[in-house]
Amino acid sequence: MNWIKLEQLLLKASPARAITREPALDHAQLCEQALSLAAGLQARGVQRMAVHLEDAAELAVALLGAWRAGVSVLLPSDLQAQTRQRWSGDVDLWLTDQTSDEQPTALYQSPLAAAELDLDQCRLSLCTSGSSGEPKRIDKTLRQLANEVEALEQLWGADLGEACIIGSVATQHIYGLLFRVLWPLCAGRPFVRKQLAFPEDLQRASREHSAFAWIASPALLKRMGDNLDWPALSAVRRVFSSGGALPTDAAQSLHQRLQQWPTEILGSSETGGIAWRQGQDLWHPFADVELTQDSDGALLIASPYLPAGHVEHTADAARIAADGRFELLGRLDRIVKLEEKRISLPMLEQALMTHDWVAETRLGVVQENRASLGALLVLSENGLFALREHGRRHLTETLRQHLREHCEALALPRRWRLLRQLPLNSQGKLPQAEVEALLLAPRPKAPEVLEQTQTDGEWNLQLTVPPDLAYFSGHFPKAPVLPGVVQVEWALNLGRQVLNLSGAFAGMEVLKFQRLVRPGDEIQLHLRFEPTRGKLYFTYRNDTATCSSGRILLETAHA
């Protein structure tokens, strides 16, 4: 590959060098657009600019143009009102996809001359997600970014070759920015402009390229099921994952299907890349990353991706092996005190994860009459089977008994919430405040609507039955079954929503309950309304047969 240093990307245009295909953009066009934007920014006297663009190629133009114009760039994590308010005093201009903000092309003027960028004067600020507190601004120089992309190419450039880079992660954060934009720009690899958040979209994009690589998150990789064309996808050159821990079973599944382990990247906005691993191997530090530890065992990091002379003090406990590789032991900042006892939430989470019934878990403190621990659980297939066959109480008591081997009684969770999946944010993180809010929230009483479609006035809704549905506790505690009256209530409530019905309930007809509906089931609900008769027809089905059906009568005067 013809490597171009990051600071030299605007120095000499190469029309034969493809940047993206759809829409097509070559390196010469990239340079012209960036230099035109630079001219417009200089003419406007802009010195500080916030950029939030979904298109990775437009982001590349914005970054290079801003740096050529001497403008510092802030990448906000989102465009929510509170985010804008937080950073509005730090920028002169917002460059985004929203019509109320400045658009890149509106700023174009006759392009500035090509020039090499200054590694120490060109600046970029990233914003942390706020998963462990208030969002922070992390300032970086172009030199730090250039050092990192060169290290990535030395590690994996030969493996990737001319692979098209396809990503499921946002480019507003350090992982997506480096792996989806800056690294391929320097290496001359084409990249897909849009973030592809679903496995089917990733597959569709992959099929369009003879060579491709994935820049993914654990959240996406966990959702890649049997319905994909795995023989075709096994041509992927390398699968990268970052933003959180990739569960062991997801990594093993990908290894079986793709004949390669995903390459996990450990890093943060503050540190840049720290290390990588494949499978359950120890973490390998990146080249020139120096690791030491403080007296509590927390990792201390010195790196060419940090300011010169700076040592980053992390909250990650670790065990460093003699060869320099290391094992992570959990977050030191997630140690809580209960009745003066120090309890490590990561340690308890790791202990819970060793049980066959647990796929994922997060623990938090429940502040009620007296503080105690609570657990969010995503059950494995075996765990869901145990819930369906023996009930919630048996499941939670078994898990508490399992934890007794790892902690004293004070640390045993008193509150449990069973989830279909952890509600990770776009960076693959789950803020601790969100964990504790979920633990305090009441158990759900409604289904989760996965998909809904309309055909000729009739609706089909794909539903999943929450494993922690409140109605299961009394019906029946040791063999939870969705009550018939709840099925009728769901049909009526969803019918009112999608069909805009307002008639008062007036009775039921020909109710049939043929198959049991259990925790975690996915079911289809078919709805049809006859306005002249005031009747709402409903049918619940699983993959093979009808579960229940009937007609709900509504007062026609108000239907």
What pLDDT is stored for residue 132 in this prediction? 45
DSSP H/E element including 281:
none
Write down the pLDDT at residue 131: 46
Residue 382, pLDDT > 80, answer yes
Q: What angle do CA 75, 431, 192 make, to 5 degrees?
A: 40
**Residues 6 or more apart from 162 whose CB is under 8 A from it?**
1, 188, 189, 211
From residue 432, give the alpha-carbon distance in Å to each of 80, 374, 376. 20, 12, 11
List C-alpha distances in Å: 30 to 19, 150, 180, 373, 485: 8, 21, 16, 53, 61
Least confident among 83-97, 286-300, 545-559: 545-559
Tell me the pLDDT band of 312, cut-offs 50, 70 and 90. Answer: very high
- 10-62 confidence digits (pLDDT tens): 999 999 999 998 899 999 999 999 999 999 999 999 999 999 999 999 999 99
Radius of gyration of the chain (CA): 27
At 63-108, the pLDDT tens digits run: 999 999 999 999 998 898 888 999 999 999 999 999 999 999 999 9
Supply the DSSP symbol for 518. -
pLDDT band at 134 (very low <50, low <70, confident <90, very high): low
Report pLDDT digits (tens) over 141-184.
999 999 999 999 999 999 999 999 999 999 999 999 999 999 99
68 CB contacts (<8 Å, ≥6 apart)? 10, 34, 35, 38, 112, 115, 117
pLDDT per residue as tens digits for the range 228-281: 999 999 999 999 999 888 888 899 999 999 999 999 999 988 999 999 999 988
Q: Are 272 and 303 in contact (CB under 8 A)?
A: yes
Percent of the chain with pLDDT over 70: 98
> How does pLDDT run across 489-516, given as a tens digit for each residue?
999 999 999 999 988 999 999 999 999 9
**What average pLDDT score do residues 6-12 get?**
97
Q: Which residues contact 90 (CB under 8 A, 6 or more apart)?
A: 48, 50, 74, 137
**Residue 87 half-sphere exposure, CB side, CA atoms within 13 Å?**
29
Average pLDDT of the residues in 453-466: 95
Percent with pLDDT over 90 in the chain = 80
For 509, phi then psi, to 5°, come to -140, 155
- The region of weakest confidence among 81-90, 318-327, 328-337 is 328-337
Distance (Å, rounded) from C-alpha 511 to C-alpha 493? 17
Burial class of residue 512, CB neighbours in 10 A (0-12, 13-18, 19+)? exposed
What's the whole-number average pLDDT of the chain? Answer: 93
pLDDT over threshold 80, residue 556: no
Q: If we measure between CA atoms, which residue out of 486, 466, 483 comes closest to residue 392?
A: 466
Report pLDDT for 334. Answer: 84
Mean pLDDT of 461-471: 96
- How many Cβ atoms are within 10 Å of 226's Cβ, its own excluded? 7
pLDDT at 559 over 50: no
Yes or no: say if 37 and 53 are a contact pair by the CB < 8 Å rule: no
Taken as a whole, the chain contains a residue count of 559
Q: How far apart are CA 272 and CA 275, in angstroms?
A: 10
Amino acid at 468: D
Predicted TM-score (pTM) of the model is 0.75
Q: Measuring CA to CA, which residue among 553, 539, 453 is closest to residue 490?
A: 539
* Cβ proximity of 343 and 411 under 8 Å: yes
User: Which residue in this structure is represented by tokens 């079973």?
Assistant: 249
Measured between its terminal Cα atoms, the distance across the chain in Å is 67
Q: What is the pLDDT of residue 408?
A: 87
**Which pLDDT score, from 0 to 100, does residue 177 have?**
98
pLDDT computed for residue 419 by the predictor: 97
pLDDT beyond 50 at 450 = yes
